[in-house]
Structure 1
Amino acid sequence: MFDYKLLAALAAVVEQAGFDRAAQALGLSQSAVSQRIKLLEARVGQPVLLRGSPPKPTEVGRRLLNHVQQVRLLERDIQGQIPALMEAGTGPERLRIAINADSLATWWAPAIAGFCSERNLVLDLVVEDQEVGLKRMRAGDVAACVCGADRAVSGARSIALGAMRYRALASPAYIRRYFPGGVDQAALPKSPAVVFGPDDALQHRYLESLGFSGTFPHHLCPSSEGFVNLVANGLGWGLVPELQAQDLLARGELVELLPDRPIDVPLYWHYWRTGGALLEALTGELLRTAGQLLVPADS
């Protein structure tokens, strides 16, 4: 039988990114959390954590995290069916979800606001690039994620939500400086761009669609709002979500470099098969609302 106090300690260390904050979240001393992790490792006969900053789960640690994540969701279902099992002082239901920054900055809040209010649900959102968010599912760190990968991890489902449409934009001042005679596709890879982070390949894919492959000058800015701010202030061109750029385009603060050449990024919702009624209900709500806010993936 599993000792769920030990599994709770493992989950807290990973979710809180360290032993100190895990101890605070569990109401224990750091020493007590450390002892629980050591006892868990003694019982499974191998390490469950790679001690670093932050600590990361080993392969067996990921399996245990996947298990405890799903158990938590199923426990919520049973407590809802048998209120006597609800612990005193239990707060609202909480889900830990990985999501890409552009979705968080645009369509996510209007898509789930009504559901969270109705279900008294609070979210613990982990921001990851759309290309790598699924790593959190594999690590057992989250119950669900929004990302650009369609293939589900073992034990999970993947459902297409739609696509985020991006347009290559720049400020009028940037265009006057780098393209005084008009935007030249051949010159675009030589002009500074803005890239979200080292895992963001969107600008690379866009340039490849124009026939260019290789490196190009770019700023790194791991913030969706900061990304748009850099582009609007002329530091570089960038692929900005259409949903995020509408007002700036209407005011003339941003201009599309190559009109009618958007790039669409399909988004997928991944969630555990045994995640219980709450995850199933949230999935249904996302399928309904995201379809109204995103573009069809094949358009």
Structure 2
Amino acid sequence: MFDYKLLSALAAVIEQGGFERGAQLLGLSQSAISQRIKLLEARVGQPVLVRAAPPAPTEIGKRLLNHVQQVRLLERDLQHQVPALDDGGQPERLRVALNADSLATWWAAAVGAFCAQERVLLELVVEDQEVGLKRMRAGEVAACLCASERPVAGARSELLGAMRYRALASPDFMARHFPQGVEVARLARTPAVVFGPDDFLQHRYLVSLGIDGAFLHHLCPSSEGFLRMTEAGVGWGLVPELQAQAQLASGQLVEILADKPIDVPLYWHHWRNGGQLLGQLTDHLRRSASSWLVPWSGLPASASSANK
């Protein structure tokens, strides 16, 4: 049987970013919460924390945190059903993995009112669309927003829509590299901006244009930085249409190939036994996401031959 006092100590240390603040949250001394962590590690037979600043969970620590979060969600449901059990404690915390472009564009507007109404604290784990689901499979998060449809064991997936990207560059970049107009074959030899080594969107876009293989690119693991580098003419990039509306309207960015976007589906993955709160958030996202996302047809908007 789990000793939930020990698991609560682990959650407090991680969520508060240290032993001292975690102890204050639980009304314990720093020595007492440290002893609880040591006892938990003795019982599981391995470390649950990396003693750093701030402390970080080990792999087994992440799984234990995931379990604590599920228990809290179920306890929250019970408290609503039996008000006498409601102790007026801290707002609920949900750990969610999502891609940086959603966070930079529509996510906050979609969930802001819900978090305020339901007293939810979000702990966001930012990953590329292709990587986020691995977090859920590893038991690190309660939900995940990613491009993969197939849910992990014990979870469901809901299609919310698709994020539309457009291949953009600055006017100076276009004048420098394509003074006579865009030659598709030259795109592979023209510097692009790629979010990171796990981001294959540019690869797929080029394949849809008949270009396969390696291409010149910068790596920029920041959604904001990605847009700034594109604006500065460092490279061309696939930018969310939502993120570049002002730049397109002002002429600060232009589309490399007219009306050839590429769409990326976004699926919301969540635990089957995540309690009412997770179900309510899922219903909320299902209703509101269409305000920002485009319908997903199952094929990229630019060409049916794209490798998606």
TM interval, short-chain normalised = 0.7 to 0.9
| Between 19-28 and 126-135, the greater mean CA deviation after superposition | 19-28
In the other structure, the counterpart of 2:44 is 44
| Between 207-216 and 72-81, the greater mean CA deviation after superposition | 207-216
| Between 64-73 and 252-261, the greater mean CA deviation after superposition | 64-73
CA distance 1:37–1:92, shift in 2 (3 Å): closer
Q: Is the 8 A contact 2:41 2:47 kept in 1?
A: yes
The correspondence of residues 190-201 of structure 1 with structure 2, limited to 5 A, is 190-201=189-200
CA distance 1:108–1:35, shift in 2 (3 Å): same
SS at match of 2:244: helix
The correspondence of residues 131-210 of structure 1 with structure 2, limited to 5 A, is 131-210=130-209
In the other structure, the counterpart of 1:96 is 95
CA distance 1:97–1:27, shift in 2 (3 Å): farther
Quick one: which amino acid aligns to residue 8 of structure 1? Answer: S
TM-score (norm 2): 0.85
TM-score (norm 1): 0.88
Distance of 1:233 and 1:44 partners within structure 2: 52
Distance of 2:155 and 2:270 partners within structure 1: 5
In the other structure, the counterpart of 2:304 is none
**Superposed displacement of residue 238, structure 1:** 0.2
Instruction: Spell out, residue by residue over 1:144-198, the C-alpha distance to the aligned partner (whole angstroms, 9 max, x if none).
Output: 1211122212211111111101010000000000111111111111111111122
In the other structure, the counterpart of 2:125 is 126
In the other structure, the counterpart of 1:251 is 250
The correspondence of residues 1-299 of structure 1 with structure 2, limited to 5 A, is 1-12=1-12, 32-46=32-46, 48=48, 55-58=56-59, 60-88=60-88, 90-298=89-297
Q: Is the 8 A contact 2:69 2:94 kept in 1?
A: no
Q: Which runs of 5+ in 1 are unaligned?
A: none
Quick one: which amino acid aligns to residue 43 of structure 1? Answer: R
Q: Is the 8 A contact 2:72 2:92 kept in 1?
A: no
CA distance 1:31–1:100, shift in 2 (3 Å): farther
CA distance 1:65–1:119, shift in 2 (3 Å): closer
CA distance 1:50–1:119, shift in 2 (3 Å): closer
SS at match of 1:162: strand
Distance of 1:190 and 1:21 partners within structure 2: 52
| Between 135-144 and 286-295, the greater mean CA deviation after superposition | 135-144
Q: What is the count of residue pairs matched by the alignment? A: 297
Identity among equivalent pairs (%): 69
SS at match of 1:174: helix
CA distance 1:258–1:31, shift in 2 (3 Å): farther
Q: Which runs of 5+ in 2 are unaligned?
A: 300-308
**Superposed displacement of residue 275, structure 1:** 1.0
Q: CA RMSD in A?
A: 2.6
| Between 273-282 and 122-131, the greater mean CA deviation after superposition | 122-131
Distance of 1:208 and 1:266 partners within structure 2: 18
Quick one: which amino acid aligns to residue 72 of structure 2? Answer: R
**Superposed displacement of residue 115, structure 1:** 2.1
**Superposed displacement of residue 77, structure 1:** 1.2
CA distance 1:21–1:192, shift in 2 (3 Å): farther
